[in-house]
Amino acid sequence: MISKKMENMVANSSAIRAMFEEGNRLAKLYGAENVYDFSLGNPNVPAPDAVKKAILDILEEEDPVALHGYTNSNAGYEDVRQAVADSLNDRFGTAFSAHNITMTVGAAGGLNVILKALLNPGDEVITFAPYFGEYRSYVNNYDGVLIAVSPNTVDFQPKLDEFEEKITPKTRAVIVNTPNNPTGVVYSEETILKIAAILEKKQKEYQTDIYLISDEPYRELAYDGVEVPYLTKYYANTIVGYSYSKSLSLPGERIGYLVIPDEAADSENLIAAANVANRILGFVNAPTLQQKIVKACLNEKTDISYYNRNRETLYQGLKESGYTCIKPEGAFYLFVKSPVEDEKAFVQAAKKYNILVVPGSSFGCPGYVRIAYCVAYETIVNALPKFALLAEEYK
Amino acid sequence: MISKKMENMVANSSAIRAMFEEGNRLAKLYGAENVYDFSLGNPNVPAPDAVKKAILDILEEEDPVALHGYTNSNAGYEDVRQAVADSLNDRFGTAFSAHNITMTVGAAGGLNVILKALLNPGDEVITFAPYFGEYRSYVNNYDGVLIAVSPNTVDFQPKLDEFEEKITPKTRAVIVNTPNNPTGVVYSEETILKIAAILEKKQKEYQTDIYLISDEPYRELAYDGVEVPYLTKYYANTIVGYSYSKSLSLPGERIGYLVIPDEAADSENLIAAANVANRILGFVNAPTLQQKIVKACLNEKTDISYYNRNRETLYQGLKESGYTCIKPEGAFYLFVKSPVEDEKAFVQAAKKYNILVVPGSSFGCPGYVRIAYCVAYETIVNALPKFALLAEEYK
């Protein structure tokens, strides 16, 4: 008998994963080139050549005992953390040092670490629908309660009035994700300033510390010259979670980091707690070879032109077929309005054309579907006529 | 403010880690060659050449998108899991398939995954002192209660009468670790049969399923031709946790696996729950490059001759100086009786000679200290005269 908490989890196991496995099944039946699998955010731009070069250099130069051994600190190699801090300071004018950086097993590992460090049972964590469904699982791991602000389907910027109303004395943290999965929106500086102002006001009112957790694996995937603000500069109690999954196309390798600035309330304790949580949750330390790889590749620019061409092609094509969708400025997702209210029925209909997309209900936003365009360009070109045929069914 | 559960953790942060950091400090002051740091189980036998060769081959042959991308299943690559299953079947006459294998972020990740899958708040988990202190943290993560059977200081085999008495209707699992950290003992087949018989009896009496979790990162480190029984063959409700940290000297890379046999009660649900727990705890999947490395290196024999020479030299030397200690058959630890009841005072005294060892209280066994002999042979040779001088203080 499995634990009660896991019973629910297993029963409602990720719709995204199920779709991905469905895609593999259809590919075996019809051939991969005849399946248009837009379901999983698995980057298909290869890791830059610098990654392979880094691995070869590291194998040549590093002593294997040091390379593959436990790191001195559970937070990771000090030189790697210093290099990450220096890089952030160069880019954003921040003032971090190695001390503020904890290397983590991807962003998912980092979120688990910081939530374990922060949450007491019953603590509330606010996020904005549509949101990455795993946030609910991560918060539930530590007996917190996820409170979702309802989606603003006009432009998918956060509904700030509802946000303010939903903050209570039990609100421990707010998770934002910009550029956003599943909508692709980037929060403007104006939005960030307003969120910060609301939080400052509520902290004073309730005499609590409310941490703003910025989950930013898509930071480097921003188009049209859009700037992605660095949130620690707007609000002191900000914690940043980052990952190289999308920026260096290393999602399977599990490497990212947390930033806990000195300015955050109780930062010394928080940093110590993150260190211990990293260890006792079983991560122990972020994979050592990967830490060294990211240090070597810190200045690699993500080649976003590939995703951008997909974005433009897909967006234009869907608009021409009459679909409703905002043009996303970041990440690699389109969030498209379903022609029928029950988007799960639309998802089923799409399968007839070997098109796989994810229902918006998985992100707390029914009536929409998520289309991940981290796929081959040809997949998009070949899928568009099918999307057109699918649209015809609803006219 | 950090969470209440973490407050305790941070306050009592690992004595092992603190000692390791002390070792680095002394090394900076006195030179590493003049510090005898026996505190951390960080393998100093390098990873076999086959690991480097495997990485080079993989980089040449594999498509980077497949290599560094998320795996299809959170349990890991199917071919890797099948290869692990085949290897176990060859070695132990078991009948596992890919289905029964979940690749994990080290053994620590695997233990967290299986405990999350199993434990309801208040469930009891029994282990045998002396035990790896992290078991308490892992069980606490899921609001279980760790119950320790008191140590048998004659030969450190488990006290079976006390074990039987400590099993209650709330007992969900038993964790065994053989070869053992910190004592180095290997449980005999006779011991295993008795443990299994007790568990079968109690399962019937209470009408519960009690899972035997075999934590075996030290399986390959067994000396004098001692055999390490494979526990699934003795008890149906056995789950095995393994790691390549010690066998391939890859502790920093975070790679291991869980075995959940078909014979285990509710195995289908347990396997599904482990899969989901692997994802939602933030591991997502075990690091992909490492999965491929272990597949390529499955037939590598761990070179234990290095550790064995250290074992013999240290054991003989300490005995000659009058220390009391059983001769360990496995792992890379000696568990030595402190000349004074308060072993922490002995640990402090040892520091005067730049000797670093870990107090047995960290393992639930005061009055003893753990000496990790995964160090350079010269370290042992140079430390023995210091151990002799230290022993003189107590005569």
**CATH class given for the domain over A49-296:** alpha beta
What residues contact B172, with CB distance under 8 A and at least 6 apart? B118, B119, B120, B123, B124, B125, B144, B208, B210, B211
Q: What is the spatial distance between Cα A335 and Cα A142, in angstroms, rounded to a whole number?
A: 30
Secondary structure (DSSP) of A32-98: GGG-EE-------SPPPHHHHHHHHHHHHHS-HHHHHSPPSSTT--HHHHHHHHHHHHHHH-----G
Phi then psi dihedrals of residue B220, to 5 deg: -80, -10
Residue A158 and residue A195 in contact, taking contact as beta carbons nearer than 8 Å: yes
67-106 of A, contacting B, C-beta below 8 A? 67-74, 104-106
Tell me if B280 and A138 make a contact (CB, 8 A cut-off): yes
Tell me if B252 and A134 make a contact (CB, 8 A cut-off): no
Amino acid at B53: K
Tell me if A282 and B106 make a contact (CB, 8 A cut-off): yes
Q: How confident is the model at residue B1 (pLDDT cuts 50, 70, 90)?
A: confident
Select the residue from A254, A275, A279, A297 to test the B interface by mutation, using most B Cβ atoms within 10 A: A254
Secondary structure (DSSP) of A259-299: E--TTSTTHHHHHHHHHHHHHHTT--SS-HHHHHHHHHTTT
Cβ neighbours around A38 below 10 Å, total: 27
Tell me if B3 and A138 make a contact (CB, 8 A cut-off): no
Residue A117 and residue A329 in contact, taking contact as beta carbons nearer than 8 Å: no
Tell me if A72 and B118 make a contact (CB, 8 A cut-off): no
Residues in B closer than 8 angstroms to A246, CB to CB, are none
What would the mean pLDDT of B320-347 be, rounded to a whole number? 97
Tell me if A108 and B251 make a contact (CB, 8 A cut-off): no
What would the mean pLDDT of B262-290 be, rounded to a whole number? 95
Tell me if B44 and A59 make a contact (CB, 8 A cut-off): no
Residues in B closer than 8 angstroms to A276, CB to CB, are 6, 9-10, 13-14
Residues present in chain A in total: 395
Residues in B closer than 8 angstroms to A104, CB to CB, are 282
What residues contact A373, with CB distance under 8 A and at least 6 apart? A38, A307, A310, A311, A314, A332, A333, A334, A380
What would the mean pLDDT of B275-292 be, rounded to a whole number? 95
Looking at the predicted structure, is the pLDDT value of residue B229 above 80? yes
Strands (E), B101-221: 101-104, 124-128, 145-149, 171-176, 211-215
H helix or E strand, kind and range, residue A214: strand A211-215
Give residue-wise pLDDT tens across range B135-167: 999 999 999 999 999 999 999 999 999 999 999
Tell me if A3 and B251 make a contact (CB, 8 A cut-off): no
Select the residue from A281, A290, A362 to test the B interface by mutation, using most B Cβ atoms within 10 A: A281
Question: What is the predicted pLDDT for the residue at B16?
Answer: 62
Tell me if B64 and A46 make a contact (CB, 8 A cut-off): yes
- Collapsed DSSP state (helix, strand, coil) of residue A306: helix
31-70 of B, contacting A, C-beta below 8 A? 40, 42-47, 51-52, 55-56, 59, 63-65, 67-70
Tell me if B68 and A266 make a contact (CB, 8 A cut-off): no
Residues in A closer than 8 angstroms to B269, CB to CB, are 1-2, 10
A281 touches chain B (CB under 8 A): yes
Residues in A closer than 8 angstroms to B282, CB to CB, are 104-106, 108-113, 138, 281, 283
Chain A closest-CA separation from residue B202 CA (Å):
17
Q: What is the spatial distance between Cα B295 and Cα A190, in angstroms, rounded to a whole number?
A: 51
- Collapsed DSSP state (helix, strand, coil) of residue B124: strand
Residues in A closer than 8 angstroms to B277, CB to CB, are 6, 9
Q: What is the spatial distance between Cα B175 and Cα A335, in angstroms, rounded to a whole number?
A: 47
- Domain assignments of chain A as residue spans, ordered by start: 4-48+302-393, 49-296
* Mean of the per-residue pLDDT values of chain B: 94
Enumerate the H helices of B142-188 as residue ranges.
160-166
Respond yes or no on whether the N-terminal peptide bond of residue A182 is cis (omega within 30° of 0): yes
Angle at A274 between CA A176 and CA B369, to 5 degrees: 165
Q: What is the spatial distance between Cα A117 and Cα A104, in angstroms, rounded to a whole number?
A: 14
Residues in B closer than 8 angstroms to A59, CB to CB, are 52, 55-56
216-245 of A, contacting B, C-beta below 8 A? none
Residues in B closer than 8 angstroms to A254, CB to CB, are 105, 254, 283-287
Chain B closest-CA separation from residue A339 CA (Å):
30
Residues in B closer than 8 angstroms to A74, CB to CB, are 17
Q: What is the spatial distance between Cα B102 and Cα B107, in angstroms, rounded to a whole number?
A: 11
Closest residue in B to A253 (Cα) is B287
Q: What is the spatial distance between Cα B264 and Cα B267, in angstroms, rounded to a whole number?
A: 5
Looking at the predicted structure, is the pLDDT value of residue B222 above 90? yes
Residues in B closer than 8 angstroms to A55, CB to CB, are 55, 59
359-378 of B, contacting A, C-beta below 8 A? none
A112 touches chain B (CB under 8 A): yes
Tell me if B2 and A269 make a contact (CB, 8 A cut-off): yes
User: How many Cα atoms sit within 13 Å of B59 on the Cβ side?
Assistant: 18
Q: Treating both helix axes as pointing N-terminal to C-terminal, what angle do B267-280 and B106-118 enclose, rounded to 10 degrees?
A: 120
Q: What is the spatial distance between Cα B387 and Cα A365, in angstroms, rounded to a whole number?
A: 67
Torsion, Cα of A8, B75, B284, A29 (10° steps)? -90
A207 touches chain B (CB under 8 A): no
Select the residue from B20, B21, B45, B65 to test the A interface by mutation, using most A Cβ atoms within 10 A: B65
Burial (Cβ within 10 Å: 0-12, 13-18, ≥19) of residue B190: exposed
Give residue-wise pLDDT tens across range A62-102: 888 888 888 878 999 999 999 999 999 999 999 999 999 99
Q: What is the spatial distance between Cα B258 and Cα B110, in angstroms, rounded to a whole number?
A: 6
Strand partners, A222: A330
Helices then strands (H, E): number in chain B? 14, 12
First to last CA, chain A: 49
ipTM of this complex: 0.94
Angle at A47 between CA A44 and CA A52, to 5 degrees: 145
The token duo for A212 is 């703003």
Q: Which residue in B251, B270, B280 is closest to A137 by CB distance?
A: B280
A315 touches chain B (CB under 8 A): no
- Collapsed DSSP state (helix, strand, coil) of residue A101: strand
Chain B closest-CA separation from residue A191 CA (Å):
27
- Collapsed DSSP state (helix, strand, coil) of residue B276: helix
Q: What is the spatial distance between Cα A140 and Cα A32, in angstroms, rounded to a whole number?
A: 37
Q: Could you read off the pLDDT tens digit of each residue along chain A, which spans 395 residues?
A: 899 999 988 887 766 667 777 888 888 999 988 999 999 888 888 899 999 999 999 999 988 888 888 887 899 999 999 999 999 999 999 999 999 999 999 999 999 999 999 999 999 999 999 999 999 999 999 999 999 999 999 999 999 999 999 999 999 999 999 999 999 999 999 999 999 999 999 999 999 999 999 999 999 999 999 999 999 999 999 999 999 988 888 889 999 999 999 999 999 999 999 999 999 999 999 999 999 999 999 989 888 999 999 999 999 999 999 999 999 999 999 999 999 999 999 999 999 999 999 999 999 999 999 999 999 999 999 999 999 999 999 98
Q: Name the CATH superfamily housing domain A4-48+302-393.
A: Aspartate Aminotransferase, domain 1 (3.90.1150.10)
B203 touches chain A (CB under 8 A): no
Q: What is the spatial distance between Cα A159 and Cα B233, in angstroms, rounded to a whole number?
A: 58
Nearest Cα neighbor of B151 from B133, B168, B128 is B128
Question: What is the predicted pLDDT for the residue at A19?
Answer: 74
Residues in B closer than 8 angstroms to A120, CB to CB, are 3-5
Residues in A closer than 8 angstroms to B53, CB to CB, are none
Strand partners, B370: B335, B358
Share in percent of chain B as helix, strand, coil (round to 5):
45, 15, 40
Closest residue in B to A105 (Cα) is B283
Q: Treating both helix axes as pointing N-terminal to C-terminal, what angle do A106-118 and A134-141 enclose, rounded to 10 degrees?
A: 40
- Collapsed DSSP state (helix, strand, coil) of residue B247: coil
Looking at the predicted structure, is the pLDDT value of residue B35 above 70? yes
Amino acid at B251: P
Closest residue in B to A19 (Cα) is B72
Tell me if B10 and A254 make a contact (CB, 8 A cut-off): no
